[in-house]
Every structure is written in C-alpha cells, then in structure tokens.
Amino acid sequence: MQMVQDSSQSTTPAPDAILEDLRRLGKNVNGYLGETIDIESTLTQLEAAATTFGWNSEVFLTVQNLKLVAFKRISPHPGPRVYISAGIHGDEPAGPLALLQLLNENRWPDKFSLWLCPCLNPIGFALNRRENLDGTDLNREYLRPKAAEIVAHVEWLERQPRFDLCLCLHEDWEANGFYVYELNPESQRSMAPIMIASLEGVCPIDTSEIIEGRPAQMGIIRPNGESLNRPQWPEAFFLHSNKTRLSYTLEAPSDFPLKTRVAALASAVRATLDSFVGGTGSAA
C-alpha cells in the first residue's frame, strides 16, 4: 500500500536539501554554487578605479546595458607589455574582483604598459552562469567567433600591439586548489613557479598529477606541443597564435571562499609582474 511519505523519516534527503548542505560546506557540485557579485556595481567600481588612477578606458561592446570595457595604461618608458583578462565565465567572480583590487592598490611596475579587460562576459554574471545570454561558452569561441562579445573582443585585440605576457584569470569549481596553465613555446623564463610560490599562506595548490586530463606538477600544466587543431579555441589559443609567445591561464579553486580566491589571483598577478623582465620577444 502506498502511503504518503513523511519527509522527516525519509532516508534520502530531497535534492534541494543536499544542495543546501553542500552550499553551506562551500562545495560545488555540477557547477558553481558559491558567492555571487552584483556585476553592475563591480563594473562601476572598476571604471571608477581606472579613472582615479589615470587609465584610458574604452567600451568595446554593450550587452543589455552592461559594458565590456578595456583599460589601457601606456608607460612613457620602454618596458614589457602585459595584457590581463578576466570574467569570461559568469560563474567565476574572483577574476574581476582581483583586477578591481589591483587597480585600487595601484602598485603596477613603473615601466610596464598594461592592457586590462576586467569582465568579458558581464551578462553571464547577471545570470550567474558560465555562458552568455545565448548560452554560449565564450571561451570556446576564439577560432571563429560568432558571439557578439568575442567578435568585439577580437576586433579590440587586433587593434592592440603584441604583448610580452598575457594572463587570463579564471576559476575552476572542480579544482582542489590553485593551478596554472602555461603556453610558452620558446621556453622563456617560466613565471609559473613564481605564481605558485606567491600563494604560500594565501591559497592551497592543486597537487593532482592530472588536472583537466593533462599531466600537472605542483599546480603547473605545461601542455608541450598541444595542438591548436582543437575546433573550439579558448582565449589563450587566440593570444598564443596572434598576440604573444607567453601566456598563462590562472585557475583559482571555487570551493574556497571568494575572498581567498581573489587574494590568490591578485597575489599571483602581483608576483608575476614584480619579477617579469620581458622575454626574448619583448621588442615584438
């Protein structure tokens, strides 16, 4: 006989209850369940910080009243050209917040010229999801861009000079700790160990031997000879093919508090810039 089940006696909690427990523990299952940000307010704060500290600001697209903006600060001295992007996945809030923190600190190395794209997918943040409004993962669009965000971003990138170093800030809800993915075809001095060392006391490292299906060593993935033949290019592949010979994709672990992930990304960027002297192709 079928009886109405009293949920208090049920041995299997409802899925909502499980998710709520996981959220309380800060764990992410089947996607990001952690802290979110008010993207309009974050974009306003980013623009205010850029204005305060004398950055040139350019809006290269507006999606549903949310601006995709690029900040530029050219040093009067010859020195490395560095590009940093964040916020291409709308469920990875630490990247835009780390750039906001670094802008407000305003402790960039003197001779560096810098280009920042602090939030490439603002609508994704408004929706609290990885993809844009159309459900497109923008970080798979760079070989043949169709999404308006990436068409506009690539057009903007093509108007900029080549960079000596590119950093793409991300988060990974499946990671056990921080890790970084290096594309360094000319074996320039690697910045990855410097990033990892800067995280001591800030954020754990993912020490897995395989991360995202690739061999890793102490949080560093070096996909030597990885083919660019993949049909779906992330931003790093476009940068590698068109704009730089040294790029890093930084991944903060989403299971940790947002504050920790912001501190981790900011620390890795700061440490990298503090010890970067320009690679073999710095005049390119």
Q: In Å, what is the CA distance from 201 to each residue of 53, 240, 264?
A: 29, 32, 10
Question: First-to-last CA distance in the chain?
Answer: 78
How many residues touch Zn ion (CB under 5 A)? Answer: 3
Stretch that binds Zn ion, among 18-26, 63-71, 83-91, 115-123 (CB under 5 A): 83-91
| Touching Zn ion, residues 26-65 (CB under 5 A) | none
Is 92 or 182 the residue whose CB approaches Zn ion more closely? 92
Stretch that binds Zn ion, among 72-80, 82-90, 200-208, 241-249 (CB under 5 A): 82-90
Q: Strands of 12-161 (E only): list them.
A: 56-63, 66-73, 81-85, 113-117
170 part of the interface to Zn ion, by CB under 5 A: yes
Stretch that binds Zn ion, among 65-73, 86-94, 146-154, 256-264 (CB under 5 A): 86-94
Q: Can you tell me the distance from the alpha carbon of 30 to that of 77, in angstroms, rounded to the nearest whole number?
A: 48
261 part of the interface to Zn ion, by CB under 5 A: no
CB 82 to Zn ion: min, Å: 20
67 part of the interface to Zn ion, by CB under 5 A: no
CB 93 to Zn ion: min, Å: 11
81 part of the interface to Zn ion, by CB under 5 A: no
User: What tokens does 280 get?
Assistant: 């073999």
CB 244 to Zn ion: min, Å: 19
Is 89 or 240 the residue whose CB approaches Zn ion more closely? 89
CB 22 to Zn ion: min, Å: 20
89 part of the interface to Zn ion, by CB under 5 A: yes
Using CB atoms within 10 A of its CB, is residue 7 exposed (0-12), middle (13-18) or buried (19+)?
Answer: exposed
Task: Classify 156 as helix, strand or coil.
Answer: helix
Task: Classify 144 as helix, strand or coil.
Answer: coil
User: What tokens does 130 get?
Assistant: 């990885």
| Helix ranges restricted to H, 8-147 | 15-25, 39-52, 94-105, 122-127
Binding site for Zn ion (CB under 5 A): 89, 92, 170
